[in-house]
Amino acid sequence: MRLAGDLLHTHDGNTEFGSFARALSTLSVDERHYWVGVFYTLLLPAEVRRDQAAYFTPPYLANAVLDLAVEYGFDLKVGSVLDPAAGGAAFLSTIAARMTTVGAKPDQVASRLHGVDIDPGLARISRGLIADRLGVGGVSTIDMQVGDALCRRWEPEFDLVVANPPYGRVTPAMLVGDHWKKVAHSGNINKYAVFVELCLRAAKPGALVALVIPSSFRTGPLYTKLRGYLQAEAQVLCVGDVGPRDEVFADVAQDVSVLLLRKTSLAQRADTRFCTIDATAGVTDIGAYPLPRDQEEPWPCPTLNATPRGGATLADYGIAAKAGYFVWNREGDRLRKVEEADAYPLIWAKNVRPGQLCWPAGKDGKAADFVSFEGTSTAIVQQPAAVLQRTTNNKQSRRLVAAVVDPAVYARWGGFVTENHTIVLTGDSAADVAQVCQLLNTAAADARYRALSGTASVSVQLLRTLDLPKPECLAAATKIHADPENAALAAYEASALQQEGRHVA
Which uninterrupted H or E stretch holds 343?
Answer: strand 343-347
pLDDT of residue 135: 82
pLDDT of residue 297: 84
Q: Tell me the angle at which helices 120-134 and 90-101 cross, rounded to the nearest 10 degrees.
A: 20
Cα distances (angstroms) measured from residue 12 to each of 6, 136, 480: 11, 21, 65
> How many other β-carbons are positioned within 10 Å of the β-carbon of residue 206?
13
d(CA 271, CA 192): 24
Instruction: Identify whether the C-beta of residue 94 lies closer than 8 Å to the C-beta of residue 73.
Output: no
Task: Write the CB contacts of 145 (distance below 8 Å, at least 6 apart in sequence).
Answer: 114, 115, 116, 117, 123
pLDDT of residue 505: 47
Three-state DSSP at 236 gives strand
Phi/psi region, residue 356 (left: phi>0; alpha: psi -120 to 50; beta: rest), is: beta
Flag residues of the chain having pLDDT under 70. 1-28, 31-55, 137-140, 244-254, 266-269, 303-306, 393-395, 454-455, 502-505
pLDDT of residue 394: 57
Task: Write the CB contacts of 318 (distance below 8 Å, at least 6 apart in sequence).
Answer: 427, 428, 429, 432
Bridge partners, 423 (sequence order): 323, 388
d(CA 121, CA 126): 9
Please tell me the number of Cα atoms within 13 Å of 493 on its side-chain side. Answer: 10
pLDDT of residue 451: 75
pLDDT of residue 129: 86
3-state percent breakdown (helix, strand, coil) of the chain, nearest 5: 40, 20, 40
d(CA 61, CA 240): 11
Residue 204: burial class (beta carbons within 10 Å; 0-12, 13-18, 19+):
middle
d(CA 304, CA 86): 34
pLDDT of residue 169: 85
Per-residue model confidence as pLDDT tens digits over 146-157 = 999 998 989 999
Instruction: Identify whether the C-beta of residue 119 lies closer than 8 Å to the C-beta of residue 86.
Output: no
Ramachandran angles phi, psi of 238, nearest 5°: -155, 140
Q: Tell me the angle at which helices 59-71 and 90-101 cross, rounded to the nearest 10 degrees.
A: 50
447-477 burial string, b = 16+ CB within 10 Å, else e? Answer: ebbbbbbbbbebbeebbeebbbbbbebbebb
